[in-house]
Structures are given as C-alpha cells and as structure tokens.
C-alpha cells in the first residue's frame, strides 16, 4: 500500500540552525550550511576540478534536505569557467519542504539568492516520485525523488560523485546501511568519489565493504574529521553517443516531443511524416484535457500518469516562456464519480495518498458545481492544476523549439526501415504503424476509434473547467466545446456518424444534467481519430533493438505521456540519469511483453 508523502516541518535549534524534529538532528553544521557544502561535499569529491572539461558530470545525493548542497554546487558550477557542459544533480528526499518554508530557509543564505529564486520558481508539488527540473537552459538538471532511501536502489544512472548526507547514523540508520551503500556502489561510474561529514565506524566499514577506499580528512566546524572515498570497482559506464543524429518517424505529439528533447541536447534530427503537416492524426483534435489519476494502491499506471502530468506541466511552462504559440489553460479538471462505488474508490485513493490540495481534492457535488460554474451531476476529484491544451499548438511549439537542428520531410511515408539507413538512431513515433516497421514479439496493439463532437458554446451552458464522467466536456476553446469520446475497438471507419454524436450527447447529459437537450445529433460536427493501445494500457517507450527506439501506444493520454517518454528516450541515448525509477522504466519497456512470455514459459 502507498505511504503518503509527509513534508518536513520548519524548525530551528536553539542556535538558529535548521533542525529536523522528526530525526532530532540539524540539517547542517552551526558553522554554516553553504560553507559545509563546499568543504565536505564539493572539496571532498574534488570539485569543481573533476568536472573541468567534461561533457557531462553526475552528482548523486542521498538526502536533499532543503537543497543547500544543490545550491552550493550550482553556484560553484556557474562560477567555474572550466565547468562541464551538462551537470546532472540527482537526489532523494523522504520529507521535502513546502515552497513557503524553502523561501524562509533560503533567505538565511543571501550568497545563494539568485539560485534560490530560480529553484523556488520551479519547485514542484509535493507528491511521491521523480521530478526533473531544468536550469541554465537545460545545462543544469536537478532530478529529485520524493521517496525514502530505498528508492536509491531503483535509480538508473552512473554517478561521478556521491554526497552522503543523511541525518546522523544514530538518528537515521536506514540511510547508512551496508545494503544501501552497496546499492549506491552499483550506480558508480569508473573512478567515482564519495564524501560525507560522518566518520562513524559503521559508515567507514560499510563503504569499504561496498568497494570504496576510504580516508579521513579534516572536517568542518565542530567536526574534526570527515570521510572521502574513491570507488575501486570497475564501475558502470554510460558513454555519450559518438554521433548525435537521429531520424524520427511520426510528427504527432510523440514524435514532436522526441525531436525537441534531442535537439535541446544538440542532436541533428530528421523528421518524417506522411501527412502534409504535424499533428494531423490522433494529435489533431481541437482540444484535449490533461489530468492525473488517483488509485488507492498507487498503481504503476497511476504513478506513470502522475510523473507524466508533472513532467508535462514543467515542460509546457518552459515552452510557453519562449516565442512558441502554445494554447493551454490550467483551468482545473473535475473527475466526477459515476456511481457510489467509484465515489468510495476516489475517497479511498485520496485517503491513502493524502495528496496536497494543489494536486487533488475530494469535492462534493455542490463544490464541483462551483468549480465548474454550472450544475454538474456528482461530486468527485478536483485537480486544480489540470485543464485543456490544443494538441496541434503543442506539436508546433515543440517543433519550433528545435530550431535549425531539425529537418522535416512532410508528405513522406516511411515503408521500411531500410529507408533510414543513413541515421545511426531511429525513433518510431508513428502509433500502430511502428510495429509494421519493427514487429515486436508477443505484442498485439489494438486500434481505438474515437469520435469527438463539437458544440458551439451558445448551444449549451458550458463549464469553466474540464469535466469528466465516463466522457468529457471541455470549456469553450475558440468558441467551441469538445464533447466525447466514443471508444470503439478495431473499427477502421474514419467517417463521422450520427450515432457517435448521439452517444456523446448522452455523455454530456451524464456530466451536465439537461445539457444538450433538443440538439439534433445529425446537425453536429466533430472529428474521428485513431489511437493505439497496448494490452496493459501503458505506453511503449524505450529500445526496440540496437539503434532503434519506440515512442508509441499512448492511447488517450498522449498529452501527458509524450514529454516524459521523450525525456526518457533522450536520456537513454545520451547515457544520462533517467527521469524515472527503474520499476517504471521497466513498465514502459517495449520488450516487456516478450519478457513476460519468457518468464511464463520458464515457470
């Protein structure tokens, strides 16, 4: 069962040092937090010298706290003219601070004010899982896992330097166990270093048992000594690619997102699309909704959807700050309960996860109606940061962000992989057609025909937010409300049907009682799109074969899965830390069906 994320409580020791009441220990030495970070963690790992001239450098930290080590590292990197091209800082934190508390804490360290302000502007909602934040135009990347120390075992990365910064081993022993330090050693790049302020015998012994050579050095503040270590094992290598060029097939949301993430890393990308322009097929709807889901067991589906939702918000915000014309609105979304059973399920999920109110809230029918601005049929879940987006505007913004690193060939259908032999890397983002080019054993994708209905806003009293209940109703977008959608398996008919509009009008009435009454279904317009769905309803994102990757089968959640999957594939190709824990990476692996079949045969 899931464990709710419990934020840290702001407290201070008698001398004013930030203090954890949960662990009975201070967050840093009374002699100064930034100075401790520089002496113990940067100097203890040979930084900034060791990242000089490197293309990429990865720091792994065992406890983010309120981010002083990250801020001090960022400042040192920013001030270093020989800094690495791209710095990844990966950290795990069981009890993160709320934004208001971070602001109060960071105000005590004016030398880090510039970095603190940028961190505050991007600080995410406090929900479990990984969140990736980009700074310095993507050259500095913070990936923070809001989880307990056990999450370190599931990370996918190659660390060059390790900051061992949990609370005292006597107060927080789970951060210093031999098993955990062995797990960390398996994440080490060749020649990786580690440093900590602790010189406890159990820490020294656990580090040595994990394959580190350990030495004592002069400590900081009231600590006479500290530990610095060097990994003696072979290490895990993740070299950058020799050639940064790729071909992407499909210019819907999946393909456009992959192009943008690769071009942001300096890749040259050729994009092939059989239609005359981007987002002409499943990504071509007038508007779509984006929102997370809650389940009482916090299922893999819910966790991946949450990660995708948060990644999309961060990504779209960055896009929106540029010159791209992105059309979206965080107006909020209501997931109304369809019956008493679903209402109980929603309440159980909310109780189990205890999400912050800015992420999700249980609301009554009256409260839901107040959010919607019109009477709705039931209460349910309210997602304040959800809303609607125009998919074509997103696809175009992603492609425009690629700049001159992107070459497009619209009206060009790829019928065989041999046509792409020029490219060292190929990414298939063309939905169900991907498996025609690269068949996958044990996988049967299903095609879903979805018909949406367009209703002019003056014909109904439209909601102010996105509302869902076995269908959806969007607020007016350019004067038009989107209602839908039908869900017809393996139906290849692209034509609009009056019965499809009638079914959508019925969905409308189940969401907004009385809405749509008297509207003739045969008088309505809309659109038909086809989506590919895997048997487990999760996307396929990752390696298909050497040099061949897939990003498809997004079903009806392409809006929130595209950015996350694209970032993961780009990180894989670059040998960077992945933006998800290993269990979720495996859940997206296109080879998962073949692997499951093989396990069944062995059983």
Q: Which of 107, 45, 47 is nearest to 75 (CA)?
A: 47
pLDDT for 1 equals: 75
Overall average pLDDT of the 163-169 stretch: 95
Q: What are phi and psi of 115, to 5 degrees?
A: -70, -40
Answer whether residue 588 is part of any domain: yes
What CA dihedral angle connects 334, 340, 346 and 348, to 10 degrees? 160
Distance CA 355, CA 235 (A): 38
For 419, the domain range is 240-326+389-444+534-603
Answer whether residue 290 is part of any domain: yes
pLDDT for 510 equals: 96
Distance CA 509, CA 517 (A): 8
Q: Taking the chain, what is the end-to-end CA distance rounded to the nearest angstrom?
A: 27
Tell whether 221 and 286 lie within a shared domain.
Answer: no
Q: Is the predicted pLDDT of residue 299 greater than 80, yes or no?
A: yes
Answer whether residue 597 is part of any domain: yes
Tell whether 113 and 188 lie within a shared domain.
Answer: yes
- If you write DSSP's letter for every residue of 359-395 in order, what string do you get? T-EEE-HHHHHHHHTS--S--EEEETT-EEE-HHHHH
Tell whether 182 and 210 lie within a shared domain.
Answer: yes
Mean pLDDT (the chain) is: 96
Tell whether 186 and 85 lie within a shared domain.
Answer: yes
Q: Is 49 helix (H, G, I), strand (E, B) or coil?
A: helix
What pLDDT digit, counting tens, does each position of 44-83 carry? Answer: 999 999 999 999 999 999 999 999 999 999 999 999 999 9
Which alpha helices (H) appear in 123-227, and where do they start and end? Answer: 178-185, 201-209
Q: Which of 460, 486, 458, 457 is nearest to 472 (CA)?
A: 486
Distance CA 386, CA 329 (A): 8
What pLDDT digit, counting tens, does each position of 203-219 carry? Answer: 999 999 999 999 999 99
- How do beta strands 466-468 and 212-218 pair? unpaired
CB 306 within 8 A of CB 292: yes
Q: Is the predicted pLDDT of residue 324 greater than 70, yes or no?
A: no
Tell whether 598 and 568 lie within a shared domain.
Answer: yes
Answer whether residue 372 is part of any domain: no
Q: Residue 553's CB: how many other CB atoms inside 10 A? A: 28
Tell whether 213 and 165 lie within a shared domain.
Answer: yes
Tell whether 184 and 317 lie within a shared domain.
Answer: no
The domain boundary, picked from 179, 209, 231, lies at 231
Tell whether 226 and 246 lie within a shared domain.
Answer: no
pLDDT for 323 equals: 65
Q: Residue 598's CB: how many other CB atoms inside 10 A? A: 13
CB 284 within 8 A of CB 527: yes
Question: What CATH number corresponds to the domain at position 195?
Answer: 3.40.50.150
Q: What percent of the chain has pLDDT over 90?
A: 94
Q: Residue 148's CB: how many other CB atoms inside 10 A? A: 16
What CA dihedral angle connects 146, 147, 148 and 153, to 10 degrees? -110
Q: Residue 93's CB: how many other CB atoms inside 10 A? A: 23
Tell whether 195 and 246 lie within a shared domain.
Answer: no
User: Predicted confidence band at 109 (pLDDT cuts at 50, 70, 90)?
Assistant: very high
Tell whether 119 and 144 lie within a shared domain.
Answer: yes
Tell whether 160 and 267 lie within a shared domain.
Answer: no
Q: Is the predicted pLDDT of residue 601 greater than 90, yes or no?
A: no
Distance CA 603, CA 597 (A): 10
Distance CA 490, CA 505 (A): 23
Answer whether residue 318 is part of any domain: yes
The domain boundary, picked from 203, 231, 259, lies at 231
State how far Cα 539 lies from the chain centre: 14
Question: What CATH number corresponds to the domain at position 401?
Answer: 3.50.50.60
What pLDDT digit, counting tens, does each position of 459-482 carry? Answer: 999 999 999 999 999 999 999 999
Distance CA 281, CA 383 (A): 28
Q: Which of 328, 316, 329 is nearest to 401 (CA)?
A: 316
Domain count, the chain: 2
518 burial class (0-12, 13-18, 19+ CB within 10 angstroms)?
exposed
Q: Is the predicted pLDDT of residue 603 greater than 90, yes or no?
A: no
């Amino acid at each position: 069962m899931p464990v709710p994320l419990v934020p840290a409580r702001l407290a201070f020791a008698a001398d004013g040092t930030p203090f954890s009441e949960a662990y009975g220990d201070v967050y840093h030495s009374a002699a100064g937090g930034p100075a401790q970070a520089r002496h113990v963690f940067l100097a203890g790992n040979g930084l900034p010298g060791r990242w000089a001239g490197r293309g990429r450098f990865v720091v792994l930290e065992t406890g983010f706290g309120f981010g002083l080590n990250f801020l001090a590292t960022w400042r040192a990197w920013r001030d270093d003219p020989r800094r690495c091209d791209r710095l990844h800082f990966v950290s795990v934190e069981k009890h993160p601070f709320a934004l208001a508390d971070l602001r109060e804490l960071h105000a005590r360290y004016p030398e880090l004010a510039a970095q603190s302000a940028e961190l505050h502007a991007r600080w995410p909602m406090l929900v479990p899982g990984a969140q990736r934040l980009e700074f310095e135009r993507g050259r500095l990347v913070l990936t923070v896992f809001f989880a307990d120390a056990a999450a370190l075992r599931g990370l996918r990365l190659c660390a060059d330097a390790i900051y061992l910064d949990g609370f005292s081993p006597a107060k927080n022993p789970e951060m210093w166990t031999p098993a955990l330090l062995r797990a960390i050693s398996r994440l080490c790049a060749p020649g990786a270093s580690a440093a900590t302020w602790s010189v406890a015998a159990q820490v020294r012994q656990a580090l040595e048992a994990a394959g580190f050579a350990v030495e004592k050095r002069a400590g900081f503040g009231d600590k006479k000594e500290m530990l610095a270590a060097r990994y003696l094992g072979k290490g895990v290598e993740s070299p950058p690619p020799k050639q940064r060029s790729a071909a992407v097939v499909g210019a819907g949301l999946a393909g456009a997102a992959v192009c943008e993430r690769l071009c942001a890393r300096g890749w040259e990308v050729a994009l092939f699309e059989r239609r005359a322009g981007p987002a002409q097929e499943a990504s071509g709807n007038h508007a779509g909704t984006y929102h997370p889901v809650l389940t009482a067991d916090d299922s893999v589906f819910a966790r991946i959807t949450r990660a995708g939702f948060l990644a999309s918000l961060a990504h779209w915000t960055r896009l929106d700050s540029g010159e791209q014309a992105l059309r979206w609105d965080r107006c909020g979304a209501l997931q109304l309960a369809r019956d008493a059973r679903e209402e109980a399920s929603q309440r159980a999920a909310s109780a189990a996860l205890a999400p912050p109110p800015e992420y999700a809230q249980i609301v009554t029918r009256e409260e839901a109606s107040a959010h919607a601005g019109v009477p709705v049929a039931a209460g349910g879940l309210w997602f304040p940061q959800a809303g609607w987006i125009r998919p074509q505007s997103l696809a175009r913004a992603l492609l425009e962000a690629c700049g001159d690193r992107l070459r497009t060939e619209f009206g060009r259908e790829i019928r065989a992989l041999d046509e792409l032999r020029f490219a060292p890397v190929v990414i298939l983002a063309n939905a169900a057609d991907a498996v025609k080019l690269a068949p996958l054993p044990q996988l049967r994708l299903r095609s879903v025909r979805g018909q949406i209905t367009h209703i002019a806003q003056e014909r109904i009293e439209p909601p102010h937010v996105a509302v869902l209940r076995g269908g959806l109703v969007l607020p007016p977008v350019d004067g038009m409300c989107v209602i839908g959608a039908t869900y017809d398996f393996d139906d290849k008919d692209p034509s609009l049907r009056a019965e499809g509009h009638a079914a959508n009008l019925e969905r409308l009435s189940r969401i907004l009682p009385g809405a749509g009454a008297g509207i003739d279904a045969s008088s309505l317009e809309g659109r038909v799109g086809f989506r590919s769905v895997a048997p487990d309803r999760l996307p396929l994102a990752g390696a298909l074969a050497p040099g061949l990757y897939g990003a498809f089968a997004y079903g009806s959640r392409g809006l929130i899965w595209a950015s996350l999957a694209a970032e993961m594939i780009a990180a894989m190709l670059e040998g960077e830390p992945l933006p998800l824990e290993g269990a979720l990476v495996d859940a997206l692996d296109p080879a998962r069906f073949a692997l499951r079949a093989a396990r069944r045969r062995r059983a």
